[in-house]
Amino acid sequence: MAEPGGGADTGGPIEAVVSDFGGVLTTPLMSSFLALQDAHGVSGEDFGEAMRAAAAAGDGEVPLFKLERGDITEPEFLELLRDGLEARLGHRPELHRFREIFFEALDPNEPMIELMRECRRGGRRMAMLTNNVQEWEPLWRTMLPVDEIFELVVDSGYVGYRKPERQIYEITLERLGLPATACLFVDDLEVNCDAARELGFRTVHYRDADQAIAEVRAALA
């Protein structure tokens, strides 16, 4: 039977739950992007064009992806973003408190956090798999009881790969010591779920808390 989230039910027991961070255990990330736009007086279109310009001037890859892999530092990322914005806007924005503004706009997604506690109490192994930034770790870790719930955190900024790249899922499985078919993966981006499913994970594509909670509980039943 196909699960509502799109993963095939192989019939075997699920031993581990692997959850995304931003947009699953927090409120939607769009609120953070909107807060950055408001704080700096820069539109989403301008941010997007600045990213594309920086990519075109370099090796073709968006700087945010490099930042999430730890290939560049946050100051280097912001400098590239300022370069792109200056060319588009005609002035160079400072982008003060970039990370602080981003996280101040997020709140913990309490129903999903409680679901993760429930999964742990039920005897499942618990892992977090996040595309994140090394310099941002002190901020996001204060938002929820990470170490209370998760035995393993795989952070793109430290392992050098990001979702949906195959290697970051393989690193997670290696560290758990489990096959993909024994794991349930929860993420708010369909492309990340697709990549996990190709490796054999069962998946739940998070769209809202009620839907995701029902699908996770059904998969674990």
Q: Is 164 a member of any domain?
A: yes
The pLDDT score that the predictor gives to residue 1 is 29
pLDDT 10s digits, 101-132: 999 999 999 999 999 999 999 999 999 999 99
* Alpha-carbon gap, residue 90 to 103, rounded angstroms: 28
What's the pTM value of the predicted model, to 2 decimals?
0.91
Asked if 128 and 21 sit in the same domain, the reply is: yes
Please compute the mean of the pLDDT values over residues 1-28 and round it to a whole number. 76
Q: Using 50, 70 and 90 to split pLDDT, how confident is the model at 12?
A: confident
User: How many structural domains comprise the chain?
Assistant: 2
Domain with 95, as residue range(s), is: 30-103
Lowest mean pLDDT among 44-53, 128-137, 176-185: 44-53
Q: Is 2 a member of any domain?
A: no
The answer to whether 86 and 92 have CB atoms below 8 angstroms apart is yes
The enclosing H or E element of 19 equals: strand 16-19
Q: Is 21 a member of any domain?
A: yes
Query: How far from each other are the two terminal CA atoms of the chain, in whole angstroms?
Result: 13
Please compute the mean of the pLDDT values over residues 171-189 and round it to a whole number. 98
Q: Is 9 a member of any domain?
A: no
Which token pair is 220?
Answer: 């674990």
Which token pair is 9?
Answer: 């039910």
* Alpha-carbon gap, residue 158 to 132, rounded angstroms: 9
- How high does pLDDT run on average in the chain? 93
Asked if 116 and 158 sit in the same domain, the reply is: yes
- In which region does residue 204 sit, left (phi positive, over 0), alpha (psi from -120 to 50) or beta (all else)? beta
The pLDDT score that the predictor gives to residue 17 is 98
The pLDDT score that the predictor gives to residue 57 is 87
Asked if 129 and 67 sit in the same domain, the reply is: no
The answer to whether 81 and 55 have CB atoms below 8 angstroms apart is no
- Residue 4 pLDDT more than 60? no
Q: Is 141 a member of any domain?
A: yes
The pLDDT score that the predictor gives to residue 92 is 93
Nearest C-alpha neighbor of 189 from the set 6, 2, 52: 6
Q: Is 3 a member of any domain?
A: no
Q: Is 132 a member of any domain?
A: yes
The answer to whether 134 and 159 have CB atoms below 8 angstroms apart is no
